[in-house]
Amino acid sequence: MTKILIIYTGGTIGMVNDPHSGTLIPFDFGQIQQNVPELARLNYDLEVHSFDPILDSSNMDASVWVEIAGIIKKNYDTFDGFVILHGSDTMAYTASALSFMLENLSKPVVLTGSQLPIGEIRTDAKENLITALEIAATKKNGAARVPEVCIYFDFQLFRGNRSIKYDSDKFEAFQSPNYPLLAEAGVNLTFFNNYIQKPSKAEFLVNEKLNTNIGVLKLYPGISKAAVEAITTSSLDAIVLETFGSGNTSTAPWFLNCLQEAADQGKIIVDISQCQAGSVELGKYETSRKLQQMGILSGYDMTFEATITKLMFLLGKDLDKAELRILMERSLRGELTRTL
């Protein structure tokens, strides 16, 4: 029988109405079959690992990602796949982080959640959970159909490190602006094999060391020198520079000097676009040529979530700066598109 481990971290999906108080409270996921009787028809061997206490996804941090990765590491040989139930607000961060931490995956790790609690009449929780389990269990010729970290939400399966949450009200809460869907659930569950990572034959490894000493500098017209210097002169190891369009910034001498001084101090600076779709092209315009000349790295079409977590992962490996810079601009888990 196919064995799936459900890791319940928290989030709306695990909530039910308390008939006495009328408030939302978490239900015991150890009794999941009673709350979702449809699961019995899947004929899977399900086990549940619940966090205690459960977490609001706004409280997710690197230590929790390490804990999740450790649970998968401990149970990797026992289970065919893993489904992580997670609050939707930071789900894309967790999916991105796990994609880098879980190296040489050959089994599915599917994150899902819901916009409405599982006890609500119009909930999206049951469909998301049931289909996520089906995806985690599906094999072809004995191999997992989706051997990577992914997000399933509202009939669509996304690569985890290509996903963003774009809507807090719709059931269709996630998008993947720069990468196609991995699968779609309609009358049939359709997998788009050309876009799915191939399973690794190398030894499964878990990278549990992350460095979170990263700052973010989001540009806007009229940004002050004090605001820029607050980031560039701080004791950070890396800076994510959120620029305009295809990677463009102000060419004001004071601004470029701030970036140059940060780069000279050894800070890793990665340029990503504030646009959700499209890619950074350093040097395409004069306004980004200076960045290229001072050694600022291109984030290409990475999401903000993937950029942050990839930096945490690479900085945690204690690489020399030259190697880190090369790897930052290289696709490690399908997180970026680089056209040579």
Q: Cite the active site residues.
A: 12
- For the chain, the first-to-last Cα distance in angstroms comes to 45
Contacts of residue 82, Cβ cutoff 8 Å, sequence gap at least 6: 4, 5, 6, 7, 72, 75, 107, 108, 109, 110, 136
Q: Are 319 and 327 in contact (CB under 8 A)?
A: yes
Contacts of residue 259, Cβ cutoff 8 Å, sequence gap at least 6: 232, 241, 269, 291, 294, 296
Contacts of residue 68, Cβ cutoff 8 Å, sequence gap at least 6: 7, 9, 84, 94, 98
CA 75 to chain centre: 21
Question: What's the CA gap between 256 and 259, in Å, rounded?
Answer: 5
